[in-house]
Amino acid sequence: MNYKVLLLDGVDAVCETIFKERGIEAVNAPTLKGEELLKELPKYHGIVVRSATKVTADLLNHAPELKIVGRAGVGVDNVDIDEATRRGILVMNTPDGNTISTAEHTCALILSLARNIPDAVQSLKNGAWDRKKYMGSELQGKTLGIIGLGKIGSTVAKRMRAFGMKIYAYDPFTTHEKAAEMDVQLYELDEVLKAADFLTVHTPLTEKTRGLVSLANRDKLKKGVRMVNCARGGIFEEADLVQMLDEGIIGGVALDVYTAEPPTEELYNILKHRSVICTPHLGASTEEAQGKVAEQIAQQMADTFENKSYIGSLNGKSIALSMNKEVQPFLIVAEKLGYFASQIAAENTNALDVEYSGTCAEHSEVLTDSVLKGFLTNTSESPVNLINARFLADNKGVKIREASSRTTRTYNDLITITISEPADYRRFSATPFGESDFRIVEIDGFKIEQQLAGEMIIYSNIDRPGMLAAVSSALAAKNINIASLSLGREKKDSRAVTVVTVDKKLTAQDVQEIDKIEGVEKVRYISL
């Protein structure tokens, strides 16, 4: 078959060269957009985009022959992966292409904050000669706090250590052994925030990282800390920055990413502050990075067209298995159980044991990929999928041990996860009950039966009359309704484990009220 690929968004010319060398027709259309783009799409089997083109459901509606969407870069926020998967369209990215460029840009912004370089440059260009006004500080001996020790965060650590900085890092899913290989010491998040003279973030934007720095946690920060964000807009609460700068809570901030790009007028007013350094999302904007990602995506897509490999695919196995009704329920329950376990596991957990019994055992390899997808989803700077889950786990130093048996236990099929590190609860089993009914059926040997969905509270309690009533009353006082519950116990008058599903999200204070009840222990809140 003669494949045809459309290159958009000004992707580097090497992309077209590689495709043509591989015998694939490539058309470079850097300015094509709107209705003209939609009219062209039916001719193509592949498209390559950067960040400007939004690959929406509507765009895909106009591309009936499309087989691959290639993103020349890491982020795929501009690609509707779920819609592409439903249509059997492969989505690929190049997660390693801009590691160096983004890390170097981060280092440049750290230096700019330390030495007031942008303001000093502008002052001199305006005809002033004011050396005292732009007195800087050395990096030697200062503490750099790094939130997120993935590829970019660890590269920043290596470079800034050469400046004589002390590195404090927080990454709950990187093991101490892996951090030691990088010559980095792991600390608790609050310890990093308290110690950091400079702070840089390299994490995905999740509910846990959104507003990581804000007026709400001002007391956790070292006074006068200088901060850099080249990761995702929203990790620093932009609306709070001016007040935090004016009050001296933070000494300066450098931003390369924003909640709105281009920034809104309101955001521009924040960026005009004298202590804000800002660049227009330049982390990956180097000739080398753009050339590298353009070459990588062309080679990856050509390999896929030729059925040689699916490296860089974000949804390859999902597509292959989407029509397999036998495997699909197990994939879902495995991912849900992995996500469940991630919210129980202690930070820096370095190993998971995964066991399969029954007919699901023959699909153990892909099911473990799904477990890891759920386990890593909220902690990885790169999108996690069935193809890259093991690679990302290995990068974080998480070891996987698998065991399979066709012999059935209480249930015909059972997936069990055991967490290596000490935690409130360590062993969980789940199984599908039906097409969309997935239940956890055992926690640390206690038999229960509860759907893996919604907002869940787990607690251990003394098995005596009134315990459930006490918990119900505490929830009712907060206007929180119980949707369902399951209780498992060892024997009468001993210990029990109870799982309660409620109708709305809980706050930390809501959970604390339950934890205060006499006889209730190990209270954990799980949001699925």
Catalytic residues: 232, 261, 281
As a whole number of angstroms, the distance between CA 33 and CA 6 comes to 12
Residues 6+ apart with CB under 8 A from 363: 327, 330, 356
As a whole number of angstroms, the distance between CA 258 and CA 255 comes to 7
Could you tell me which residues are beta bridge partners of residue 201? 147, 229
As a whole number of angstroms, the distance between CA 128 and CA 126 comes to 6
Structure-block tokens of residue 466: 């009134």
Decide: helix, strand or coil at residue 330: helix
Structure-block tokens of residue 56: 């929406």
Closest CA to 387 of 403, 372, 402: 372
As a whole number of angstroms, the distance between CA 49 and CA 27 comes to 12
Closest CA to 481 of 500, 459, 509: 500
**In terms of C-beta distances under 8 Å and separation of at least 24 residues, what long-range contacts does 382-385 make, across chains too?**
382/74, 382/95, 382/150, 382/151, 382/204, 383/76, 383/81, 383/93, 383/314, 385/313, 385/314, 385/315, 385/316, 385/317, 385/318
